[in-house]
Structure formats: structure tokens, C-alpha cells
Amino acid sequence: MPTLYIIAGSNGAGKSSTGPGLLPEAVISKHPPFDGDKLKSIKQLEFRKQVGGSWKEAGRLADEYVYEEFERQYKYAIQHSEDFVYEGHFTEENSWELIRTFKNKGYVYALYGIRLCRSIQR
């Protein structure tokens, strides 16, 4: 049965650095996590060169690209009954819609929550 793996947490919590280590190696090696924040940063730099240095326009284009790429990748996974791994903030109601979409296609899901902890030095 295919699985939807979700690595959730706030900015800086360690989703990208420690999150993949929580999942089975066989999953990560075949299905690297979709990291929209990282992809946006890369694409924004590329688009900035194309639009004459405008960060705002490059950001808008990068957002569109990330949205379309995410949609393409998760639909491909569903179409081929493959595992899918993504990381995100999981703060919006529509985050549940994606889980429902996968669940309706016969997927199980695993949610890994990563949070920041504050260390108090005395």
C-alpha cells in the first residue's frame, strides 16, 4: 500500500535537515522530500535574472512554479501508486485536503511533526 509521508514543522525546526532521517532509507532514496521553500529559493534566483532583478516578480514566478511542480509531482505519485514525501508548515485547512486526496486513492499516511525546543542555560 503506498504511503504519503509528511514532515511538518515551523521554519527552522529542522524539517529539511533532520526530517528525512526519520523516514525509512528505502523511501528517502527513491522519493526525496518535496521541499517547496528550498525550490522557491532556487527558482527565485533563476527568475530574478530573467526579469531584470525584480525580487517581487521573481518571487511571484517562483511561487507559481513551486505550486505547479508540487501538483505535478503528487499527481504523478498517485497515478503510479508511488510513495510521496513532502515537507511543509501544515498550518492551513487545505493541508488536510491533500491528505484526503491521497487517502481516497488508497494511501495511508504518516505525519512527522518537528518542533523547536528552547534550551534554558543557567
C-alpha cell at 12: 527552522
In a domain, 122, yes or no: no
Q: Any residues with CB less than 8 A from the CB of 99 and at least 6 apart, and which?
A: 4, 6, 109
In a domain, 86, yes or no: yes
Judged against a pLDDT cut of 70, whether residue 119 lies above it is answered with no
The number of domains in the chain is 1
Say if CB 86 and CB 34 are below 8 A apart: yes
User: Which structural domain, as residue segments, surrounds residue 12?
Assistant: 3-114
Say if CB 63 and CB 78 are below 8 A apart: no
In a domain, 120, yes or no: no
What does the pLDDT look like over 33-68, one tens digit per residue?
Answer: 999 999 999 999 999 988 787 889 999 999 999 999
Please state the pTM of the whole predicted model. 0.85
In a domain, 83, yes or no: yes
In a domain, 98, yes or no: yes
In a domain, 10, yes or no: yes
In a domain, 9, yes or no: yes
Phi, psi torsion values for 24, nearest 5 degrees:
-60, 140
CATH number at residue 12: 3.40.50.300
In a domain, 119, yes or no: no
